[in-house]
Amino acid sequence: DQQVKQNSPSLSVQEGRISILNCDYTNSMFDYFLWYKKYPAEGPTFLISISSIKDKNEDGRFTVFLNKSAKHLSLHIVPSQPGDSAVYFCAASANGGTSYGKLTFGQGTILTVHP
Amino acid sequence: DTGVSQNPRHKITKRGQNVTFRCDPISEHNRLYWYRQTLGQGPEFLTYFQNEAQLEKSRLLSDRFSAERPKGSFSTLEIQRTEQGDSAMYLCASSSEQDNYGYTFGSGTRLTVV
């Protein structure tokens, strides 16, 4: 049972343009969502998060949008840079609006930003 | 503090052998997590500790798997009687209750069972 789904295995974007990565979830108990970035041979690194009481969170070039009614979230990267090329994972928790405890991850989307 | 450290980085073992991995979390973090990642998939939760107490275990953690965190510091994950299906990247992460910025992951231990 895949409770967090990233339906696009890969995304290719030109440098300077916007990258939009999507994530859908099925468990209505999820109340906190995170995005992680992973480079080869490294562990995932935390990027940005959003609580279910918000619909948008912004941090520099990264913005996460949450649509609770559609059980959908997206990560926008503007402008995209070649160094953003990595695997991006969406994750969710049902731990009272925190990231503590168990996280459920999506399958990941490989982002390639071309110079 | 250099972050979450995992050893070994790579382990090749024969089917049926036992293996043990070690994770050293960030020193001030009281929570420690183990995940498993297979090719093309995201990390899957195995178990987590708050200090030395194991608070939750996934049904993925069969009776061949055991994790410990003595004295609430480093943790070990042991797999007994390894099977080829155990081949995966085993990731350790830690976090503090004082922040809500997600885990800090280690670089993982890649296990290959031949």
Chain B residues in contact with A41 (beta carbon < 8 A): 107
The answer, for A88 touching chain B at a CB cutoff of 8 Å, is: no
Closest CA to A93 of A29, A46, A20, A36: A29
The answer, for A43 touching chain B at a CB cutoff of 8 Å, is: yes
Chain A residues in contact with B100 (beta carbon < 8 A): 49, 98-100
A-to-B residue pairs, Cβ atoms closer than 8 angstroms: 63
Measured over the CA atoms of residue A24, residue A29, residue A33 and residue A38, the dihedral's sign is negative
pLDDT band at B4 (very low <50, low <70, confident <90, very high): very high
Contact criterion met (CB < 8 Å) for B42 and A42: no
A74-86 per-position pLDDT tens digit: 999 999 999 999 9
**Probe site for chain B from A27, A31, A39, A46 (most B CB atoms < 10 A):** A46
Q: Radius of gyration (Cα) for chain B, nearest Å?
A: 13
Nearest-5° Cα angle at B34, B12 to A44: 85
Is the pLDDT confidence value at A111 over 70? yes
- Note the Cα B32 to chain centre separation in Å: 8
Of B42, B104, B105, the CB nearest to A106: B42
- Residue in chain B closest to A110 (alpha carbons) equals B40
B60-74 per-position pLDDT tens digit: 788 999 999 998 899
Q: Is A36 exposed, middle or buried (0-12, 13-18, 19+ CB in 10 A)?
A: buried
Distance between CA atoms of A27 and B20, rounded to whole angstroms? Answer: 34
pLDDT at B2: 73
**Probe site for chain B from A25, A38, A87 (most B CB atoms < 10 A):** A38
Is the pLDDT confidence value at B99 over 90? no
A104 vs chain B: nearest CA distance in angstroms?
Answer: 7
pLDDT band at B1 (very low <50, low <70, confident <90, very high): low
Of B43, B45, B95, the CB nearest to A44: B43
SS (H, E, C) A94-107: CCCCCCCCCCEECC
